[in-house]
Structure 1
């Protein structure tokens, strides 16, 4: 399985981490270890790195970084409210456990991903100097293994604990039936009060791409994903989400917000970009049981 999209998101996080501290949205000191070309970005700095990123995919950086900030804030909020486990489904190359010092807060982190992607990540993690990263890696081949069964095999995992589940940038790659199965599975191995975050691609992208950002950029992102073997195959309308949750789990909708809403909230006034340049192809769901 390709890790190209995970590497691309790591690049966006690295570029953002080089921004001036006063206007920086997130800080990820580990992102540079997960993609080719990081030394060049370190050399040219935030401004030129962002310019080059925007030349290829205008508006994508802001969408990805606002999404990261949104989830980071949710993690902090849920931990403060008693969540003692974080499960990252399709964890990719984010180092959220280390970035947010979750081990120091007595929060256990479980990273679930395809075996091949997770193997590559573990190799890269081993090369990061002075890193303490006490996460539980849970390899799951989603074609033939169940995530709930594999999590239950991990000695430190508590299926009755209040947990935060994060499915970031994944739902567009998996069939709708797999999404239902995942919701049902995680409902069965988490305790009361558990929060489930997931992003999804707005189904309007199939017929109204120009309403969600520059149509050429939208098509370019989809084409690039398909070219590395990661085509987008699953989309949702906002009106579908409550039914999706109710049909598969005890999770109930708390919020469903658009990319432009969280971008306006995350970025300071001097870094806001015109609405017509912002990609708003994603929406972000918080559900709770």
Structure 2
């Protein structure tokens, strides 16, 4: 992905806008993110207009709700892990994620590492300053240019402890990477302390999707292509599970439409997810190095 200097990824703006739009629904919300619209910056209004023009009302709800589900699940995992003594949380491809600026309750228990491209991270920090939001003391920015530095090097430089358990979230990223790059990242995470957990998203092949999922996926893929961020890697649930096993993970759990509705929309008959994107969680086994 090629990023303009000091500008965030356009797809990062898109997901921030989705979190903001979710708050237009009646509460309770899956994720209450009052910072999302401000973080999206000046491009937000154009993105909102485009989403409303290109997606049916049901498809737009599906998209915004799913974006909030995929942001909420990692936060729930971190909360559970923190209660079990885990003190590190790494957000890979952090983009305009707002966890560290909303969840002061968890920032008192875990150190957060935001990993992202230096240019987009610099823009985010400038935007936070304009919003008069002070980064919490327990947040560490880890700008990594993967053309010149590995994930392991970048995390070590930032002070991450590979000998201690952690939670990694990798949300809305894998579809833009090659299988080789995904494998390399998973292999690095697998060198962390046993018990380290990862939660990530992956996108499924277009041919496997239902009509609702195809509508959402087609619009988002077109937006990504125009932003210079084309989809590269797609997986079936079995394929991503096999990749996790090959790179050193166990306790693999799938989290798709049924799990999302059961966890966050219980008893709701008006909520529908097509499954274009799914979540999966796993745990590191073996020895760290």
Q: Which bin holds the TM-score, normalised by the shorter protein? A: 0.7 to 0.9
Query: What's 1:87 paired with?
Result: 90
Q: Is the 8 A contact 1:86 1:164 kept in 2?
A: yes
* TM-score, normalization by structure 1: 0.84
Alignment of 1:146-225 (within 5 A): 146-155=150-159, 157-188=160-191, 190-203=192-205, 205=206, 207-209=207-209, 211=210, 213-225=212-224
The separation in 1 between residues aligned to 2:39 and 2:54, in whole angstroms, is 16
How far apart are residue 238 of structure 1 and its match? Answer: 1.2
User: In structure 1, which of residues 279, 282, 288 is the aligned counterpart of residue 283 of structure 2?
Assistant: 288
Structure 1 stretches of 5 or more lacking a match? Answer: 42-47
User: 3-state DSSP class of the match of 2:145?
Assistant: coil
User: 3-state DSSP class of the match of 1:153?
Assistant: helix
The separation in 2 between residues aligned to 1:266 and 1:179, in whole angstroms, is 28
How far apart are residue 3 of structure 1 and its match? Answer: 1.4
Q: Is the 8 A contact 2:16 2:40 kept in 1?
A: yes
How far apart are residue 208 of structure 1 and its match? Answer: 3.0
The separation in 2 between residues aligned to 1:218 and 1:29, in whole angstroms, is 26
Structure 2 vs 1, CA of residues 124 and 53 (structure 1 numbering), >3 Å: closer, same or farther? farther
How far apart are residue 201 of structure 1 and its match? Answer: 0.5
User: In structure 2, which of residues 116, 122, 139 is the aligned counterpart of residue 113 of structure 1?
Assistant: 116
* Number of equivalent positions: 274
Structure 2 stretches of 5 or more lacking a match? Answer: 285-289
Q: What's the RMSD between the two structures over aligned residues? A: 2.8
Query: What's 2:263 paired with?
Result: 265
Q: Is the 8 A contact 1:66 1:263 kept in 2?
A: no
User: In structure 2, which of residues 12, 17, 25 is the aligned counterpart of residue 6 of structure 1?
Assistant: 12
Q: Is the 8 A contact 1:212 1:281 kept in 2?
A: no
User: 3-state DSSP class of the match of 1:213?
Assistant: helix
